[in-house]
Every structure is written in C-alpha cells, then in structure tokens.
Amino acid sequence: MEEVKRGSKPDFVLSDDEILRFGTRLCVPNDEDLRRELLEEAHCSKFAIHPGGTKMYKDLRQLLVVKAEHQRPAGSLQPLAIPEWKWEHITMDFVIGLPEP
C-alpha cells in the first residue's frame, strides 16, 4: 500500500476512501470469508454483476438458430462391445426431440 501511496505503482490507484483499484478493477484483500461473501452477492443478488447461466442461455438463444435443414440425419444405433474391464469404455447418449408433456 505504501508503494501505491508513493506513486511507484502507477497502475494502482488508492481512492480517498481507501479503495484500491487496478485500472478499473477493484482489488479485494486475501480474506477467504470476504471473497466468498462478495462472490455470493455478485452471483445471487437480483442486482448481480454476473447474471449467471440462465440469462446467458436466453441471450445466446436469441442470437443462435440452428435450422433443421443444416443438420445431418441421425444414424442408426450401434450396439457397444462388452468391455473386458470396468470403466474400459464410457459412453453417453443424447436424447433430443422428446414430445412436450
């Protein structure tokens, strides 16, 4: 802090109310409880600085449209070989296009 006050760290600015900034970024002390509280507030508040995945998904959904005619037809299902040892093969099935309930 003394180096910042002396001006030997020009990228850092200390405001009158003792808030340390690096450019436009706020510098947070290395205090785990304070950091956890700030992150929780930033992610959970309705005034959040980080809107989370739901808003991001909705924003991207408006911009991204995948037309059916640009998709390759799905192939037929292929049986998997029986593995000789556990965890030898790991697979994942993606189920899409299910009817609405």
* 91 occurs within a structural domain: no
| Distance (Å, whole) CA 2 – CA 69 | 64
| Distance (Å, whole) CA 42 – CA 45 | 6
DSSP three-state, residue 42: helix
Q: What is the pLDDT of residues 16-41, one digit of tens each?
A: 888 889 988 888 888 999 988 888 88
Tell me the CA distances in angstroms from 89 to 62, 63, 82, 84, 92, one per residue in order: 37, 36, 9, 9, 10
* 16 occurs within a structural domain: yes
User: What is the CA 41 to chain-centroid distance, rounded?
Assistant: 16
What is the pLDDT averaged over residues 37-60? 72
Confidence check: pLDDT of 70 > 60: yes
How many structural domains are present in the chain? 1
pTM of the model: 0.38
Print the domain residue range for 8.
Answer: 2-65
